[in-house]
Amino acid sequence: MKYFIRLFSVLCFASFCLAASSAAHAATSERFAKGGWIQDFQPEIDRVNASGELFRIKGHCQSNCTLFLGVRNVCVERSARLLFHSGHDRQRRINARSTQRMLSAYNPKLRQYVMEHHYMDTLAFHAISGADIIDKFGYRECPRR
Residue 2 pLDDT: 55
Distance in Å from the first CA to the final CA of the chain: 39
User: Among 49, 38, 76, 41, which Cα is nearest to 60's?
Assistant: 76
Q: Where along the chain do its domains lie? A: 27-135
| pLDDT computed for residue 1 by the predictor | 55
Q: Which amino acid is it at 35?
A: G
Q: Structure pTM? A: 0.79
Helices (H), ranges, the chain: 2-24, 38-51, 96-104, 108-116, 130-135
Distance CA 25, CA 94 (A): 36
pLDDT one digit per residue (tens) for the chain, 145 residues? 554 445 334 333 434 333 433 444 569 988 878 877 778 889 999 999 999 999 999 999 999 999 999 999 999 999 999 999 999 888 999 999 999 999 999 999 999 999 999 999 999 999 999 999 999 999 999 998 7
